[in-house]
Structure 1
Amino acid sequence: MKTEDLVIRLSQEDPRPKRWEPAMALAIAALATGVIVVFFSALWLAPRADLMTALAANDHTVLWKFVFAFGVVVTALPLVRDLTTPGRAAGIASLIALLPFAIVVVLGMRELVVLSETELRQLLSHASWLACLWQVPLLSIPAFAILVVIARRLAPTNLQRTGANIGVMASGFGAVGYALHCGDDSMLFVATAYTLAIGEMAFLGALLGPRLLRWT
């Protein structure tokens, strides 16, 4: 093959991964991760005995916990995809990823308005706060490890931001696993303790991203 022909052929080939490839890889990883985290949670933290009854309750508070946790995963996935695909800008995906947090904060504020001082004091003194802040990140570790391996095989450039959002996505899975066990159904609790736990993983991801996602 002549040099000119080789140059023309290489110029016609797109070296960047197809748009669907990162999304497909991350989606498959997410499905596998979800199964692993739920299994890990069931082994380590016994699911609450009244889970099915609570899910069917008229106030839907338990259901909202799972909607929030899954929402964090689903909205973080497009953002992680954009951050691991060359040529894609994380624009509207960044705003969409904030949606689950905005919704749960609104629900938490609405609950705060109607809580009595005694109820609020009981809520703030509940031991679930401390448990949530370390159990959600611990449940997130398998998800974080899997997603880092997948992201590293793609092409992230902003390693710190990618790591932070992988941490958010992983902690969404951790929140799902923790919600199976968590007996505190307050939206105020979810809006604060769950969000803080997710923030811990985002910080950890931002800290480790430049080291773990670096191309070798």
Structure 2
Amino acid sequence: MKTDALIAMLASGADVASPVPPGAAGRATTTLGAGLLASVALMAMLLGVRPNLEQLALLPDFWIKVGFVAAITVASWHAAHRLCLPAADTRALPLLIAMPLLLMWALGAISMNEAPPEQRAELFWGATWRSCPLLIAMLALPILAAALRLMRQLAPTRLRLAGAAAGFAAGCMAALVYCLHCPELAASFVGFWYVLGMLVPTAIGAAIGPKVLAW
């Protein structure tokens, strides 16, 4: 959304926090879908789907991991969208994002506390802690590009925060894609290393947001 369009909207008395114009939702779906497909293709070519994914899917811990990542993905995209609408109420956004994080951290703390001392390090570090955050960040790049392209069509006013929100949302969605490859199931691992991977594109989005989203 350009400055003239925003001024015209304000002058007409339209609610700038109302739903986007007809056709915009379809374009947004196409753009984000392209970014997601690129991320999935990148995962398939460079990493591959886990060979024992069907067996992992029978375990409750797998669905706890997927549920956490899905919940924070939905929350983060909602936050990113709200930050692109002038006058939209954003006060509840930190709590919305914090809820799945706090639940996962609590579950991780309980699991660590109940585990024998000799198993606690394995629950936290897993076998892939060195690569997990970097792989999630890599898979987030095409989604971040799509998210920033969408944001340019709206009217973010806090550009660094909006860029960070786009990066975090992209990182969350990339983590969902990474679930198809990752063997780790421990809540303590997911609650730390997955989130660290989400924060890498968040930092990238915050860094480039003021330049990319300027209008």
Q: What is residue 3 of structure 1 aligned with on the other side?
A: none
TM-score scaled by structure 1? 0.85
Cα distance change, pair 149–129 in 1 and its aligned pair in 2 (3 A): same
AA partner of residue 147 (structure 1): A
Question: Alignment partner for residue 45 of structure 2, among 40, 43, 46?
Answer: 43
Report if aligned partners of 2:36, 2:142 keep a CA contact under 8 Å in 1. Answer: no
Report if aligned partners of 2:66, 2:179 keep a CA contact under 8 Å in 1. Answer: yes
Tell whether 2:212 aligns with 1:212. Answer: yes
Cα distance change, pair 190–124 in 1 and its aligned pair in 2 (3 A): closer
Report if aligned partners of 2:50, 2:183 keep a CA contact under 8 Å in 1. Answer: yes
AA partner of residue 196 (structure 2): L
Tell whether 2:130 aligns with 1:130. Answer: yes
Report if aligned partners of 1:108, 1:188 keep a CA contact under 8 Å in 2. Answer: yes
**What's the C-alpha RMSD, in Å, of the aligned pairs?**
2.4
AA partner of residue 139 (structure 1): L
Q: What is residue 53 of structure 1 aligned with on the other side?
A: 55
Structure 1 residue runs without a partner (length 5+): 1-8
Deviates more, 1:88-97 or 1:140-149: 88-97
Q: What is residue 100 of structure 2 aligned with on the other side?
A: 100
Equivalent residues, number: 205
Report if aligned partners of 1:163, 1:209 keep a CA contact under 8 Å in 2. Answer: yes
AA partner of residue 47 (structure 1): V
Distance in 1, Cα, partners of 2:105 & 2:161 = 23
Cα distance change, pair 83–17 in 1 and its aligned pair in 2 (3 A): same
Q: What is residue 5 of structure 2 aligned with on the other side?
A: none
- Cα deviation for residue 52 of structure 1 reads 1.7
Distance in 1, Cα, partners of 2:10 & 2:167 = 37
Tell whether 2:182 aligns with 1:182. Answer: yes
Distance in 2, Cα, partners of 1:115 & 1:77 = 35
Distance in 1, Cα, partners of 2:66 & 2:9 = 48
Distance in 1, Cα, partners of 2:9 & 2:214 = 26
Q: What is residue 172 of structure 1 aligned with on the other side?
A: 172
- Cα deviation for residue 93 of structure 1 reads 2.7
Tell whether 2:71 aligns with 1:71. Answer: yes
Distance in 1, Cα, partners of 2:111 & 2:74 = 25
1:15-35 deviation digits (Å, cap 9, x = unpaired): 665622189365554444333
Distance in 2, Cα, partners of 1:18 & 1:114 = 46
TM-score scaled by structure 2? 0.85
Distance in 1, Cα, partners of 2:104 & 2:61 = 11
Distance in 1, Cα, partners of 2:15 & 2:204 = 29
AA partner of residue 91 (structure 1): R
Structure 2 residue runs without a partner (length 5+): 1-7
Report if aligned partners of 1:66, 1:176 keep a CA contact under 8 Å in 2. Answer: yes
Distance in 2, Cα, partners of 1:42 & 1:36 = 10
- Cα deviation for residue 79 of structure 1 reads 1.2
